[in-house]
């Protein structure tokens, strides 16, 4: 997990009784190894799609090679098939390595990436699911957002999870906006929806492994705990603002420096007051 311990569990007293809440996960939220293993189930499902493509590619390439071997003029096509097999299996290996990281506590392999590119990838992946559920997905990208060190696959996984949660929080038509911005020493991503929001109790447990509001539709409750783990392994932090009946906003801050300073929790702890129906932090 990331070296920085970032959060204190708190409920903002100013929101007491107003129905809107802010949750910042506790310092002690590092997953125990057995909990992490339990989370592999959700991660495996999420990665299954990615791995089915290279497996399928290698299978077709191998069968094609077998069909053409020995025929006149097949050398070039055989070489192409074998190249495809090697590349596909390499992709499979990289996907499995990402999965294995969560059992071995290996450090995240980071590279300087554009958060806007990662957000766009996540939206592309999520758009068909959103269309099928009547969700309106919108982007609001800051062209000035700096590059930040990250594992793009893992951050994409986090964003896909958040967007999916937002889609499923809507009953029929829901508007989901994903925005990026430059902040001091970092980049910020905010996933907002105008869905049903969360109750105080739900918000208090949102990062608990196996807690879910979506059991009836197959939710396993592992997504947010994994998402938090990924963000923390990037020395970033995450907060959730939600108002029942109004919507939810999930904010992720990622540092651009290799050794980030403590986040400004005073500025980051903006609250969604009950008087603000838009719930925009």
Q: What residues make contact with other proteins under the rule CB under 8 A? A: 48-57, 59-61, 63-64, 67-68, 77, 80-81, 84, 87-88, 91, 124-125, 127-128, 131-132
User: Looking at beta carbons only, is 37 or 45 nearer to other proteins?
Assistant: 45
Tell the smallest beta-carbon distance from residue 54 to other proteins (Å): 7
Residue indicated by tokens 């098939």: 81
Ramachandran angles phi, psi of 150, nearest 5°: -165, 165
Closer residue to other proteins in complex, CB, 175/204: 175
Minimum CB distance to other proteins, residue 63 (Å): 4
C-alpha to C-alpha distance for 170 and 175, rounded to whole angstroms = 8
In the chain, DSSP assigns E strands to 20-23, 111-114, 135-140, 147-150, 174-183, 186-193, 237-243, 247-255
* Distance of alpha carbon 264 from alpha carbon 185, whole angstroms: 10
CB of 152 to other proteins, least distance (A): 15
Residue listed under structure tokens 């990208």: 141
Looking at the Cβ atoms of 131 and 184, the one nearer to other proteins is 131
Task: Rank residues 91 and 214 by Cβ distance to other proteins and give the closer one.
Answer: 91
| Spatial separation of the C-alpha atoms in residues 125 and 163, rounded to whole Å | 10
Reading the block at residue 243, the tokens are 């108002």
To other proteins, the closest distance from the beta carbon of 133 in angstroms equals: 11
Toward other proteins, which CB reaches closer, 8 or 127? 127
The minimum distance between CB 55 and other proteins, in angstroms, equals 5
Encode burial over 56-91: b for 16+ CB neighbours within 10 A, e otherwise.
ebbeebeebbeeeeeeeeeeeebeebeebbeebeeb
CB of 32 to other proteins, least distance (A): 30
Please answer whether residues 203 and 23 qualify as being in contact, where contact means their C-beta atoms are separated by less than 8 angstroms.
yes
Please name every residue paired with 186 in a beta bridge, in sequence order, or none if there are none: 183, 255
Angle at 131 between CA 156 and CA 134, to 5 degrees: 120
Q: 133 or 273, CB closer to other proteins?
A: 133
Residue nearer to other proteins on the CB measure, 40 or 78: 78
* Structure-token match 């959730």, residue found: 240
Q: Minimum Å distance from CB 124 to other proteins?
A: 5
């Amino acid at each position: 997990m990331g070296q920085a311990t970032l959060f204190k569990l708190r409920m903002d007293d100013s929101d007491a009784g107003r129905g809107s809440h802010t949750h910042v996960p506790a310092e002690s939220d590092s997953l125990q190894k057995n909990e992490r293993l339990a989370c592999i189930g959700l991660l495996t499902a999420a990665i299954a799609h990615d791995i089915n493509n290279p497996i399928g590619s290698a299978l077709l390439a191998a069968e094609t090679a077998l069909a053409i071997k020995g025929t006149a003029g097949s050398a070039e096509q055989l070489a192409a098939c074998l190249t495809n097999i090697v590349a596909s299996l390499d992709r499979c290996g990289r996907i499995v390595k990402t999965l294995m990281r969560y059992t071995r506590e290996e450090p995240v392999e980071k590279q300087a990436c554009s958060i806007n590119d990662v957000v766009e990838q996540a939206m592309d992946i999520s758009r068909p699911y959103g269309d099928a559920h009547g969700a309106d997905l919108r982007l609001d990208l800051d062209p000035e957002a700096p590059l930040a060190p990250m594992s793009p696959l893992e951050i994409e996984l986090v964003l896909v999870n958040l967007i999916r949660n937002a889609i499923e929080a809507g009953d029929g038509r829901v508007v989901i906006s994903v925005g990026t911005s430059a902040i001091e020493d970092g980049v910020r991503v905010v996933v907002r929806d105008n869905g049903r929001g969360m109750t105080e109790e739900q918000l208090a447990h949102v990062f608990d492994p196996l807690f879910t509001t979506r059991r009836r539709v197959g939710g396993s409750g592992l997504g947010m705990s994994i998402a938090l783990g990924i963000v923390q392994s990037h020395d970033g932090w995450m907060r959730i603002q939600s108002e029942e009946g109004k919507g939810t906003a999930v904010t992720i801050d990622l540092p651009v420096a290799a050794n980030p300073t403590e986040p400004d929790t005073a500025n980051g702890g903006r609250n969604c007051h009950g008087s603000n129906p838009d719930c925009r932090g």
